[in-house]
A and B are shown apart, each in its own frame.
Chain A
């Protein structure tokens, strides 16, 4: 199951301090990590806090003191953490967190929907979305390396139940090779009784502006770091990932833009279209932040159609991925109008037929007549 893949990823990464609070659908991560700590398989301190807010605060405290930390949450829990997400990035702490995508209440829903994590877009966290449980394991480990190189926090995101509770075969890489890949965290500046430094003091306007520049500058470097870490992972373990990934993309006229498990369903449908000779391909988005601007500009230029399947909805404007893509490609010649399809909210299945309806509808859209389209809406 995806949740177990996370636990193993954290185990292999030798996290030192874990703080978490139960919320469906991420609970199994916490449960398994508790056992791992209790059994001594993982030499870590697990703080069983009373809220997600405190979970993040514990991670911040521990990371500030130099520890490698981990927490996991979903939906409401992530929203509760929001304030501290800013804190973690502002303090430049390489915290790794799993967010199992779940819809926001009300109405109560425990099923998949990306709005919880996308709503944290501006908190200064890197975000990587996963399509399979193998990715979940691999990216969890890679995240530590990426975060610690940049001193930025990172969120590994995947869909509730579709991955979290779905069993797949996952290759759990041995500890030795992973230790070679991921050395222990070396925090240069941390809470150290020998060094009476204050962290996170009041910053007057004379420096705040420059401090924010520094944060953005790190994000600008992040793309390169992510690429090189993923490349190294591929070299060592043969599993290759990118910030964006194409599927039958090279010659595609119609490009479906997806993220997470929607990609797998879409691949099935793309194969069907390809068998009929239609040039349909996929651009799979992995990183929301840093946003791979250059990469998407390059991949989307010269296409006939760009159809974004957004498993989220930002009320008032539509799908978040589509908005990000439109912003990134604005005024870039040759990029066609970016069509946005809202689908799969609150765990509604995105079935092959859903993808088919998107493609068929998209074929009819020459220009951007609507900011977003509802698909298979029950009348």
Chain B
């Protein structure tokens, strides 16, 4: 039976049509009685435009440098499918728990909802799924007989190892420190990023068969020559050298870098700070160092040469530090470390005012002559930026402007070496490092398989990029096409194209933090849980509420609007699969369904 015939018979309320046409008075009924159904009337012929379903790329997806399919896992959270949400997230990243806590979440800036009221709490939801979903070890493809060494186990290294392993390559991570994780382990304090959680995520890599060798410094403990047994090497060693202040007395006892302080604390070493600690800098390391010092019974002052607005640190972090009692001395710059017996006694400072913006867009500080003042202190912690140390690198790798030179696929000047993360020129963030690890994994895989990276890029770049989709790459490298529930057009769904009639303003969900009183009580160095995590995750109720605020930009979520508002009863929910079927024989092409789609997941097309 043809579809046409089926449609004609689509008539649950009555039996076969009685005689539908008449030759004349002999078979015409005596009364005007209509028993046949109008279904025969193919009103589809009235149409010149036709609705169709197609998904777009939600802006959060490309707002994430790592191309997380944020909308997809938010939807799974709202459906209570936490395991699947976590699995979805882990298609693109090995460390959702880390990102859910420590990512600076640029996705929320691109969230369309930000233009309506306030953005969806994507970061909190990512932490929620990592807390509430059960971690599954991802599938590893059949072994390829290729091997890759990953140097450094920070976010770039972990991501690169994770994705390469999924593709079936043998991967060995070399980590100089005792424990894996790099900056995640040693650069972010425990109260922000619990070590157990990090270990749990790294454990997934181990279970996948990634070999992790800790306490091995490449170039020292093993030679670069030894690396030649690997087909490719990824360099993700990060930056470790603190920028110097460039003032006198900097070498005195009692002056230490923020990174060093954090690393020591994270390694469980005893740190003597004295009573008064001065932290110099306005970035996240400064705040982390200050709050860590608070937990070591110090009185902490942060010295920053610009004003609060210019601080590069997360606002939330600054606020938390303030609440915990960190004092901020703004518009002041250090001029000299005052020492006594080569031991810090005070810091001499100078007041500054702000002038014209510099190339970073922030107003340039200008020293006010004669405004010197002295702040007594026991320890000075410097946190004014980090530099890479490339002295350990093998010979011949091109380095420029303090970064390893790489091409689009993150290949270095030596085609066997790839590099990513803070060692290349890119923003020094976890999520950018993750993205670099992914990109390098794809670059390495292409070069191992002799495939074209450019061609791959064309197939897996999300909308305008630069974010890449590992989900799409895994299918692409197998020459498979992903069967999407709804065909996807690789364009961003803009805010203006949403139908705001269907959304109401709502409060952004705020995650809870451990109460300040409790925090203050547990902060003394004597308290056993002084590095207890400060931020609490969302409750299920909160998560549902937060997920419910998602517009699902450009994505059909079966809201039924098209079905409900069809005047021609020509949109039918599919019973056995996702989405809706449009009855082409009867759809008159009025366009109501497309106009009333809240999220621009439909369009009218010429036939």
Q: Taking beta carbons and an 8 Å cutoff, which residues of A are in contact with B? A: 90-92, 151, 189, 195-201, 203, 207, 210-211, 213-214, 217-218
Contacts and interface: CB of A to CB of B under 8 A. Distances in A.
Contacts of B35: 197
A59 to B, nearest CB: 16
B569 to A, nearest CB: 15
Contacts of B22: 207, 210
B32 A210 contact: no
Contacts of A214: 25, 28, 30
Contacts of A198: 33-34
Interface of A is mostly: mixed
Contacts of A189: 29, 31, 33
Contacts of B32: 90-91, 199-201, 203, 211
A218 B30 contact: yes
Interface string B7-31: 0000001100000001011001111
Given A196-B14, A214-B25, A151 B33 contact: no
Interface in B211-237: none
A198 B14 CA distance: 13
Contacts of A199: 31-34
A199 B35 CA distance: 9
Q: Which 8 A-B pairs have the closest CB atoms?
A: A198-B34, A201-B34, A92-B31, A197-B35, A214-B30, A200-B32, A210-B25, A210-B28
A211 B28 contact: yes
A134 B13 CA distance: 50
Contacts of A203: 32
Contacts of B25: 210, 213-214, 217
B24 A151 contact: no
Contacts of A197: 33-35
A134 to B, nearest CB: 34
A233 to B, nearest CB: 26
B36 to A, nearest CB: 10
A207 B28 contact: yes
A90 B31 CA distance: 8
9 contacts: A90-B32, A189-B29, A189-B31, A196-B13, A199-B31, A199-B33, A199-B34, A201-B32, A210-B22
Contacts of A218: 30
Contacts of B29: 189
B34 A91 contact: no
A58 B391 CA distance: 102
A92 B28 contact: no
Given A199-B31, A211-B32, 15 more contacts: A91-B31, A92-B30, A189-B31, A195-B14, A196-B13, A196-B14, A198-B33, A198-B34, A199-B33, A199-B34, A201-B34, A207-B22, A207-B28, A210-B28, A214-B25
A151 B34 CA distance: 18
Contacts of B28: 207, 210-211, 214
Residue from B13, B14, B31 whose CB has the most chain A CB atoms within 10 Å:
B31
B37 to A, nearest CB: 9
A52 B25 CA distance: 34
Nearest to A150: B30
A197 B25 CA distance: 20
A210 B13 contact: no
Interface in B478-524: none
Interface in B27-60: 28-35
Contacts of B30: 92, 151, 214, 218
Contacts of A200: 32
A342 B141 CA distance: 109
Interface in B345-383: none
A267 to B, nearest CB: 41
Nearest to B26: A210
Nearest to A208: B32
A151 to B, nearest CB: 7
A195 to B, nearest CB: 8
Given A198-B34, A201-B32, A203-B32, A210 B24 contact: yes
Nearest to A200: B32
Contacts of B24: 210
Contacts of B33: 189, 197-199
A207 B22 CA distance: 9
A53 B54 CA distance: 56
B14 to A, nearest CB: 6
A156 B408 CA distance: 99
A213 B28 CA distance: 11
Contacts of A213: 25
Interface in B103-159: none
A251 B345 CA distance: 154
A197 B31 CA distance: 12
Nearest to B18: A197
A199 B34 CA distance: 6
A195 B32 CA distance: 15
A196 B12 CA distance: 11
B39 to A, nearest CB: 13
B14 A151 contact: no
A217 B26 CA distance: 12
A198 B35 CA distance: 7
A151 B29 CA distance: 13
Nearest to B37: A196
A189 B35 CA distance: 11
Contacts of B14: 195-196
A225 to B, nearest CB: 14
Contacts of B13: 196
B336 to A, nearest CB: 96
A195 B33 CA distance: 11
Nearest to B13: A196
A237 to B, nearest CB: 31
A207 B34 CA distance: 12
Contacts of A207: 22, 28
A247 B31 CA distance: 40
B312 to A, nearest CB: 71
A215 to B, nearest CB: 8
Contacts of A196: 13-14
A197 B14 CA distance: 9
B21 to A, nearest CB: 9
Most A Cβ at <10 Å: residue of B13, B32, B33, B34: B32
Contacts of A211: 28, 32
Q: Most chain-A Cβ atoms within 10 A of its Cβ — which of B13, B25, B33?
A: B33
A90 B25 CA distance: 16
A220 to B, nearest CB: 13
Nearest to A151: B30
A136 to B, nearest CB: 30
Nearest to B24: A210
Contacts of B31: 91-92, 151, 189, 199
Nearest to A189: B33
A214 B29 CA distance: 9
A304 B561 CA distance: 83
A211 B13 CA distance: 27
A197 B15 CA distance: 12
A214 B31 CA distance: 8
Interface string B270-297: 0000000000000000000000000000
Nearest to A215: B30
Nearest to B22: A207
A91 B34 CA distance: 12
A177 B35 CA distance: 39
Nearest to B14: A196
A366 to B, nearest CB: 46
A201 B14 CA distance: 18
A366 B525 CA distance: 141
A124 to B, nearest CB: 13
A90 B30 CA distance: 10
B35 to A, nearest CB: 5
A201 B33 CA distance: 7
